[in-house]
A and B are shown apart, each in its own frame.
Chain A
Amino acid sequence: MADNKDIMGVFADTDTAAEGARQLKSAGFVQDDYDVLTGNPYPEGAFGEHVKPNRLFVFALAGGFVGFAIAFLFTAATQTAFPLVTGGKPILAIPAMMIIMYEMTLLFAMIFTVTGVIFESRLPRPSGAGPVYDTRITLGYIGLIVTTSEDRLEKAEEALKAAGAEDIVRESS
């Protein structure tokens, strides 16, 4: 829905923000219509919001497999490429290979995980924090963002106002 607009109410503290959430609900907005901006983590569902499930562990697993494969190829290939006998050990020295495979598995698992976190939290945003944002968020204020169609913006605004929003930020269009 391209014509959706954002509107954000900035609240001074938790209670008013929670009140704002209630107001929005009573004004007929469902959970997916609004989102919360906070300066630090809050107990989940404190504002009746809900977080869509993420697939972070998939990244970790994939990374693990990739790393393991790379390490296996690297170790096996390098030893067989120029088979020099050292210390009477077999050319394919499996315990030694295992150590390297272990490390690489974890390395790639970690790299993929971080990629996953950034990707799953919808970052990086080239536009920065976005059009509808208020720097007071990081001062402990709480923002309720409503994403809805033009015609319902008014409804959302008065709901937020009624809950005691200090400020209303609109998407500049």
Chain B
Amino acid sequence: MSDVKWGMVVDVDKCSGCQACVIACMAENNIPINLDRDYTENRSIAWIRIERYWEGEYPDVKARFLPVLCQHCGNAPCEPVCPVYATFHNDQGMNIQVYNRCVGTRYCANNCPYHARYFNYRRPTWPETYNNYLNPDVTVRDRGIMEKCSFCVQRINAATRIAKREGNEDAIAGLQTACAQACPTDALVFGNLNNANSEVSQLYDDERSYVLQESIGTQPNIRYLKKIDEHAAEKAHAH
């Protein structure tokens, strides 16, 4: 499957900040439930988060939403600083996190310009009744480990297996990450960038598309589509 290059397009114009993607991601990837304590300590974990910026002065205040997840950079600053290869770049353009190797130096998190990496300060716990709802395809991360958006790698692997078994690419073509699947406004579009007629690769070169913090030259596989709004231009870069 090396001809596959997974990518995503985030249409800031469509995003309504409903947080559905966040919840879907938590359910899919066994992310521990954040208590208020975790938020006050700035230790909450959310592989995809909606950043909310207020614009304008009262009474005409506008809320701007920016979904941020791991950008799966081509030049990922987080990768080379890991002493134990716990994170590296695979041949499908994804930034892989290997939980077993991680020793928790947290250097990758320091070096991630998108704040997309999260550290398990505590051993994750769920209410007793939830234990049976955990996704069997996804590891539960112990304390002391970095974690981040994996582009739902478990789904990708499953789809790849099916595709290989059935000998056609349908499974891969229809593949969705949890967040993209859950997005009611289709603000998140996930797909194979090497497939020219996939929706994502068409939106990818849209004239509205831009890259978060382009000056760092991380060459992400996630692009954003500007808000259609006279303020959008400076907003997208300013914050």
Which residues of chain A have a CB within 8 Å of any CB of chain B?
Answer: 82, 84-89, 93
Contact yes or no, A84 B88, CB < 8 A = yes
A87 touches B85 (CB 8 A): no
Task: Please tell me if B74 contacts chain A, counting CB pairs below 8 Å.
Answer: yes
Task: Contact check, B75 vs A84: say whether CB atoms are below 8 A apart.
Answer: no
Whole-angstrom distance from the CB of A80 to the nearest CB of chain B?
14
Segment of B59-67, B76-84, B145-153, B154-162 engaged in the interface with chain A: B76-84
Secondary structure call for the A interface:
loop
Q: Give CA–CA (A88, B220) in the complex, Å.
A: 12
**Are B219 and A88 in contact (CB-based, < 8 A)?**
yes
Chain B: minimal CB distance from A165 (Å): 64
Taking CB as reference atom, which chain B residue is nearest A83? B88
Size band of the interface chain B makes with A: 10 to 19
Which residue of chain A has the shortest Cβ distance to B89 in the bound complex?
A85
Report whether B88 and A88 are in contact in the complex, using a CB–CB cutoff of 8 Å: no
Q: Which B residues are CB-close (under 8 A) to A88?
A: 74-76, 89, 219
List the B residue with the shortest CB-CB distance to A88.
B75
> B24 to chain A: closest CB distance in Å?
30
Complex Cα gap A93–B79 (Å): 14
Judge whether A86 and B82 touch: CB under 8 Å: yes
Q: Which residues of A contact B76 (CB under 8 A)?
A: 86-88
Within the assembled complex, what's the spacing in Å between the Cα atoms of A86 and B78? Answer: 8
Please name the residue on chain A nearest to B219 by beta carbon: A88
Cα-based distance from A84 to B87 in the complex (angstroms): 9
Task: For the complex of A and B, list the 10 residue pairs with the smallest distance between their C-beta atoms, beginning with the closest.
Answer: A86-B79, A87-B80, A88-B75, A84-B88, A86-B80, A87-B79, A85-B89, A86-B88, A87-B76, A89-B80
CA of A84 to CA of B82, assembled, Å: 12
From A82, A85, A93, name the one whose CB has the most chain B CB atoms within 10 angstroms. Answer: A85
A–B complex contacts, Cβ < 8 Å, 30 sampled: A82-B85, A84-B85, A84-B88, A84-B89, A85-B79, A85-B88, A85-B89, A86-B76, A86-B79, A86-B80, A86-B82, A86-B85, A86-B87, A86-B88, A86-B89, A87-B75, A87-B76, A87-B77, A87-B78, A87-B79, A87-B80, A87-B81, A87-B89, A88-B74, A88-B75, A88-B76, A88-B89, A88-B219, A89-B80, A93-B80
Q: How far is the CB of B211 from chain A (nearest CB, A)?
A: 15
Q: Which of B73-115 contact A (CB under 8 A)?
A: 74-82, 85, 87-89
Q: How far is the CB of B80 from chain A (nearest CB, A)?
A: 4
A89 to B75, CA, bound (A): 8
Task: State how many angstroms separate the Cβ of B235 from the closest Cβ of chain A.
Answer: 29
Cβ distance A100 to chain B, nearest Cβ, rounded Å: 12
| Bound form: Cα–Cα A85–B89 in Å | 5
- Most A CB contacts (10 A, CB to CB) among B75, B76, B80 go to B80
Given A86-B76, A88-B75, output 16 extra A-B contacts at Cβ < 8 Å.
A84-B85, A84-B89, A85-B79, A85-B89, A86-B79, A86-B80, A86-B85, A86-B87, A86-B89, A87-B75, A87-B76, A87-B80, A87-B89, A88-B89, A88-B219, A89-B80
